[in-house]
Structure 1
Amino acid sequence: MSLTTIVAFLLVDLLLVITPGADWAYAIAAGLRGRSVLPAVIGLVAGYAGYTVLAVAGLVVIVASSAGLLTGLTITGAAYLLWLGFGVLTRPATVGAAEDLADSPGRVILRGAGTSGLNPKGLLLYVSLFPQFIDASAGWPVAAQTALFGVLHMALCGVVYLVVGVLARIVLAAKPQAARVVSRVSGAMMIAIGGFLLVERLAG
């Protein structure tokens, strides 16, 4: 596999990762609620680690090609985002509030893994983006190329979401009212994305 191919993948993938979505909303909300955004980012990356394992095993294509499985994943993911967004919307965070620090890192990680791992858009990214950069004549096994792209994607997600969460915390640290507004917006984004996924799948 050529360096040009890897760089091209990174550029395209970065454009997708820096596009705000459910992951961004969770990173922002976690940055406002917790002492550290790191557990949330670890959780988000863990969700994509699951997709990477499935992709290397060839199961991602099977799931994506099965209407029943994809519908089930979409409905589950949409319901999870609606539940998570409703919680954030009704309990908007302020930086360092005592009740917001109560969540254990383990619970924050699990929520993050659920946010990215139950998002069918993540599955479709692996199905639609990765094959465009896999070169069967490169001398690398397809599974190895898929694993490399998965690791690169997880690394980009980790860096971008960490920056997003930390910046949200730093910028809003002295502005509790603004922090509540941003927290509510994050919750509304989760609800909107979950609702869109649900309507899109059921309408299809």
Structure 2
Amino acid sequence: MDSGTLLSFLLVDLLLVCVPGADWAYVIAAGLRGRSVAAAVGGLVGGYALHTALAAAGLAMLVAGSPALLTALTVAGAGYLVWLGWSVLRRPAVPEAGEAPATEGGRRVFLRGAAISGLNPKGLLLYLSVLPQFLVTRDAALPVPAQTAALGVLHMACCAAVYLTVGVLARTLLGARPAAARAVTRTSGAAMLGIGAFLLLQHAF
């Protein structure tokens, strides 16, 4: 795998990561509701670490070859997004200016983030459709599993950099503006709910 292939994948991957979606919505909501941005991002990256391990082990191709299993995973992820989005809309509480933020266990924030990225249809698309296009199968210096792991780690690094930036900027810029923060939190919740509902409807018809 040469540097040109890695750079091409990096550009495509950054484009996908920078498109707002469920991951963005979660890290923004976590930051504005007084939760640890690092734990939220760590959870999201952890979910993609699981994707990377499964892809390197060849299980991603197994899922790709089973439409029923792929549909079940997508529906499960969509349902989880609907539930999480509704929870955020129902309780969009953010700290008032000067008020100490409410805390939530870092483990719970981490696990929730891992569930979101682990079941995120955009993540499934990346690992099942996009990443395989950058693998060199003939006369490659590295075996395919090692290439898959390398591209997966590159994706995780992109996610960590982008999502940490988004979460910190959201907290810094909106932390002293409770009304704006509440509006952004509601928007994030609506985005998660909307993405999940769209995917559920897509598989219902």
Q: What is the TM-score when the length of structure 1 is the normalising length? A: 0.95
The corresponding residue for 1:70 is: 70
Q: Counterpart amino acid of 1:56?
A: A
Map of 1:18 onto structure 2:
18
2:124 — aligned with what? 123
Match status 1:164 vs 2:163? no
Aligned to 2:83: 83
The Cα RMSD (Å) is: 1.4
> What's the secondary structure of 1:26's corresponding residue?
helix
Given the superposition, is the C-alpha separation of residues 15 and 124 from structure 1 closer, same or farther in structure 2, using an over 3 Å criterion?
same
- Deviations along 1:102-138, whole A, 9 cap, x unmatched? 3100000011001110112211211111111111223
In structure 2, the residue matched to 1:94 is: 94
Q: How does 1:1-204 map to 2 (within 5 A)?
A: 1-95=1-95, 101-136=102-137, 137-203=139-205
Cα contact 2:34–2:94 (8 A) shared by 1: no
Aligned residues with identical type, % of pairs = 61
Amino acid at match of 2:144: V
Q: Structure 1: where are the runs of 5+ without partners?
A: none
Secondary structure of the residue aligned to 1:129 is helix
Distance in 2 between the 1:120 and 1:65 partners? 16
Cα distance between partner residues in 2 of 1:149 and 1:44: 17
Q: After superposition, what is the alpha-carbon deviation per residue over 1:21-62, rounded to whole angstroms, capped at 9, x for unaligned?
A: 000000100111125300000000011011001100111111
Q: Is the 8 A contact 1:29 1:93 kept in 2?
A: no
Instruction: Tell me the CA shift for residue 150 of structure 1.
Output: 0.3
Please state how far the C-alpha of 1:95 moved relative to its aligned partner. 4.1
Q: Partners in 2 of 1:35 and 1:52 — Cα distance?
A: 26
Q: What residue ranges of structure 2 are gaps of 5+ in the alignment?
A: none
- Offset, 1:67: 1.8
CA distance in 1, matches of 2:87, 2:53: 30
Deviates more, 1:117-126 or 1:39-48: 117-126
